[in-house]
Amino acid sequence: MSETYIARSSAIAARMLAGQMMIMNSADSTFFTLSEVATAIWQAADGRTPLREIVRNHVCEQFDVDPEQAHMDAEQFVAELSTHGILLVADHPLEAP
């Protein structure tokens, strides 16, 4: 099974506000807020840790969710953020943000 690796884009700005992560991509001025689970994934996106491991360590353990369902949700979330240039996604390790 191929792994998915994710890294935070260097073009974005981000800050926590009242438990929500605000993210803005300066390239297209898109502005997002991430849920607590999405924030955990985004913060762990170091380019080196496979997404499956991030979900296991940072989502399943902290939020008590089913691993398979969590992984599917994470794949979808990652794909969406990558279309907005907020996350870089590859099937090989990426350079750290």
Partner 1 sequence: MSLMTEMGQKAFDLGVPIAVHLDVTYRCNERCVHCYLEHDDHGEMTTAEIKSVLDQLAEAGVFFLTFSGGEVFLRRDFFELVEYARRLLFNVKIKTNAVMIHEEEARRIRALGVDSIQISVYSHRPEVHDAITKLPHSFERTMKAIRFLKDQGLKVTIANVLMTANLSDHYQVQKLAAEMGVHYTVDPTITPMMDGDTSVLGLRIPAEGLTEVFRNPALVANMEEFCAPPKAPTEDDLEGYSCSAAHSFCYISPYGDVFPCVQFPLPSGNVRQQKFLDIWNRSPQLNEVRSIQAKHLTVCSSCSHVSSCTRCPGLAYMEGSMRGPSIADCEKSYYRTGVPTANMLRLGIEKPRGGPLVQIQPLAVSI
Give the residues lining the site for partner 1 (CB under 8 A).
Answer: 10-18, 20, 22, 24, 26-27, 29, 31-33
Q: Smallest gap, in angstroms, from Cβ of residue 27 to partner 1?
A: 8
Query: Between residues 13 and 79, which has the closer beta carbon with respect to partner 1?
Result: 13
State the Cα–Cα distance between residues 15 and 7, nearest whole angstrom.
17
Residue found by looking up tokens 């994470």 in the block: 74
Query: Between residues 2 and 29, which has the closer beta carbon with respect to partner 1?
Result: 29
Q: Smallest gap, in angstroms, from Cβ of residue 36 to partner 1?
A: 16
Q: Smallest gap, in angstroms, from Cβ of residue 9 to partner 1?
A: 9
State the Cα–Cα distance between residues 57 and 40, nearest whole angstrom.
10
Q: Smallest gap, in angstroms, from Cβ of residue 28 to partner 1?
A: 10
Give φ, ψ of 93 to 5 degrees.
Answer: -60, 145
Distances from the Cα of 97 to the Cαs of 28, 42, 44, 45, 61, in angstroms?
19, 11, 11, 8, 25
Query: Between residues 30 and 49, which has the closer beta carbon with respect to partner 1?
Result: 30
